[in-house]
A and B are shown apart, each in its own frame.
Chain A
Amino acid sequence: MSESAFAVLGLFDSADRLMKAIPAVRARGLGRLEAYTPYPIHGMDDALGLRRSPLGGMVLVMGILGALTALGFQYWISAIDYPIVTGGKPPGSWEAFVPIMFEVTVLFATFTAGLGMLLLLNRLPFFGHPVLSSKAIKEITRDRFALSVEADAGPLDATAAREALSAAGAAHIEVLPDVGPRPFLTSDYVLRTLGGIFAACVVSGLLMYGAVKLFPVLPPMVHMLDQPRLNPQKADSFFKDGHGMQMPVPGTVARGYLPLGVASQEEAASLVNPLPRTKDVFALGRESFRRRCVVCHGALANGVGSLTAAYGAKPANLQAKQFLDYPDGKIYWVIVMGKNAMPSHAADLSETQRWAVVHYVRALQRAQNAKDEDLKVEGQR
């Protein structure tokens, strides 16, 4: 026979005969040997000289990798990136990592075992194995034992294989023709696969739509949403006045917002700025001044702010002689109470911030009216 063959199948009547034939055929070294039997036969792996499956090693490596991955992730999250003490345990408590390490180990190991077996060792996707189209397949799956000599690297010498098998006592011999390149990734196959995926998407989408329409939707995990609670800005029957939010008790004083103890601006002149003139206080004053005052009074407190041009307002020029002579307390009073068109800033600036602004205004005034001594002091430092 000169035609190219995928394999030559020899059929044997019993497992014993098959096992006895294997060494004789194997000694001829014609090609890869494979046995097809109705049930597993002990010792077949050794007889065929199959090498030990590398799957165990792969699973071990991936399992260890899984454990280390889980350990690394959890340690990085809970001890390095965002260390938070939960349950009174120090960040990076290894005990808490173990269950997840265990699960990820199992996950990596089983996926490696399953996919490695199917894709790497069983050579999937492999459609239509030639033995499945052989005439002998019915008998192989029932009561016959087949030994096949298959083309290994080079072409198979079908005549020699036939001879070797019949010499080894095969009852029947069948030559399986070479099917050529495997029918994989043909346009027909690709189209059918894509069509199948598309059909599956359509069907599952329609099913989901129907299920959601026909059956009541069960919201998951609603316990937290359903608990009785007061919603801000919403009516609620819990309180008598029907409001979800309640006003503070009359006379409530917020921290840092002590009421002013004086009745008029004249009286306020006696107030003394309680803050020291430190860098931090000036920094706070500058920050607060820039946020609340600059738009009208201008960066130099000279009354030229950006709002002046836009609206024609006439804010006070704090560099004027009148304000240079103002005591601290009177400036403070204006911040709290407002003056003319200026509104009160009491709600926006805390007591500390207001006094810091007073200091800063004084600094701005001094800067615009600097004396020679100021330079000297600077020079000496």
Chain B
Amino acid sequence: MNATTRPTPILLWAALALGAAGVVGAYLGAGPERFWANWILWFIFLFTVGLGSLFIVALEHLINAKWSVPIRRIPERLATLLLPVIPIGLIALGALPVLYPGTRPEALQNPILAGKAFWLGLPFFSARAVVCFALCLLGLGVLVRGSMRQDSSKDPAFNVRARKFAPGWMFIFAAVITLVAFDWISGLTPEWYSDIFGIYLFAGSFLAGLGATSLAILHLKARSRLEGVQNDHLYNLGGFMFAFTVFWSYIGFAQYMLMWYANLPDEVLYYKVRLEGPWHLVTIALAFFHFVLPFFVLVTRDAKGDSGRLRKVAFLMLGAHLLDLYWLIFPALGATPYFGWPEVSFAMFFLSLGLLWVRGAMEKGEDMPVGDPFLQEGLEFRL
């Protein structure tokens, strides 16, 4: 740490304190519904960034990739975001009686919800959340902690263990992200359901993980850390981002088109809300910032390996993912897309919290998995 970067944590702490005051003020001033909607938004955002990063780590072990070994420590550190997110998620259970119609007593009057009362009800919902968090901790423990330990032990047995664990964990990952998407986001409109919704959130989550990873790598490289990581490594991250913006759009549009075609009242209502009034603009903005813009920025070969453009796209990806979650969650509050001081306070609080955590994580241990036998091979990777 040199002297020029020292004011940053002070600023972050100040933003955290100011944001915390705003968060408390939001509960009192803007009402519990808006408070909890913001809380869910930021919980899911940080959760998907962390889980998406963990997915990148697991993907490397799953397919036995060598190129990503030198940069693996970055998504590993970002995945530790799941640790502070778990208490945030447990607090978010407080939103259940406020925002989730399935947990309210009047749900029993609705025949559709009454049939799903056990699934949607508070006890089982909370149990599922706790199980999901526990499974995240399992992934963190095996993949991230094991990798950190390998730095000193230099024991290649970790690679074998991780390689065996990764396929199983992919199933767990699929279950966790599907449950989180169905429970926390789709649960806001329990009469509406879409089978593909878990994959939709997975696409956004992977993109958010890629965006955060790329940003962190570029940030560290600009400070002369991560010696040996080349543009070829960045190119692969850019390629992934390019591919998965298309994947996200494919899933999102497939979900929309089937419902638009079938035109069933209980299904189209979800989109009807989002295609009317001010929400229509948000929908168009989402399609533009989550697909059109990143697609055309990343489509050329140069853009994927160019650190300047990649940084912008990574920022854009994180912002678009946040907009995506806003678009998914906030229509539950009504026809007006709320944006005011409560939203800004929440952004300040959770962003500074996340950044402080990531800053701390980036200072711990080695920047690269120095004990991994494939590190040298990964450093020699060229396109």
Contact = CB atoms under 8 A, between A and B. Distances in A.
B383 interface: yes
B6 interface: no
Contacts of A52: 301
Contacts of B261: 87, 89, 95-96
Nearest to A53: B301
B300 A56 contact: yes
Contacts of A42: 382-383
B299 A60 contact: yes
A98 interface: yes
A96 B253 CA distance: 11
A180 B291 CA distance: 53
A98 B260 CA distance: 13
B263 A88 contact: yes
A43 B382 contact: yes
Contacts of A88: 263
Contacts of B253: 98
A99 B261 CA distance: 13
Interface string B253-293: 10011001101000000000000000000000000000000
B169 to A, nearest CB: 32
Interface in A49-75: 52, 56, 60
Interface range for B? 10 to 19
Contacts, number: 20
Nearest to B302: A52
Given A56-B300, A56-B301, A60-B299, A99 B382 contact: no
Interface in A115-148: none
Nearest to B232: A42
B257 A95 contact: yes
A240 B263 CA distance: 44
A99 B263 contact: no
A179 B382 CA distance: 38
Contacts of B263: 87-88
Nearest to B383: A42
B257 A98 contact: yes
A260 to B, nearest CB: 52
Interface string A77-101: 0000000000111000001101100
B378 to A, nearest CB: 14
A212 B351 CA distance: 70
A98 B263 CA distance: 17
Contacts of A95: 256-257, 260-261
Nearest to B300: A56
Interface residues of A, number: 12
A89 B382 CA distance: 51
A95 B256 CA distance: 9
A96 B260 CA distance: 9
A90 B262 CA distance: 14
A43 B383 CA distance: 9
A98 B246 CA distance: 13
B301 to A, nearest CB: 6
Interface string B238-254: 00000000000000010
Contacts of A56: 300-301
B301 A99 contact: no
A56 to B, nearest CB: 6
A120 B37 CA distance: 57
A96 B261 CA distance: 8
Contacts of B257: 95-96, 98-99
Contacts of A43: 382
Contacts of B256: 95
Contacts of B260: 95
A84 B300 CA distance: 40
Interface in B286-341: 299-301
Nearest to B296: A60
A279 to B, nearest CB: 47
Interface string A169-182: 00000000000000
A64 to B, nearest CB: 10
Nearest to A59: B299
A87 B263 CA distance: 9
A43 B382 CA distance: 8
Contacts of A60: 299
Interface in A306-347: none
B338 to A, nearest CB: 28
A242 B3 CA distance: 102
B363 to A, nearest CB: 34
B351 to A, nearest CB: 35
A89 B257 CA distance: 12
A271 B260 CA distance: 60
A376 B323 CA distance: 83
Contacts of B299: 60
Given A42-B382, A60-B299, A98-B253, 10 more contacts: A42-B383, A43-B382, A56-B300, A56-B301, A87-B263, A88-B263, A89-B261, A96-B257, A98-B257, A99-B257
Interface of B: 253, 256-257, 260-261, 263, 299-301, 382-383
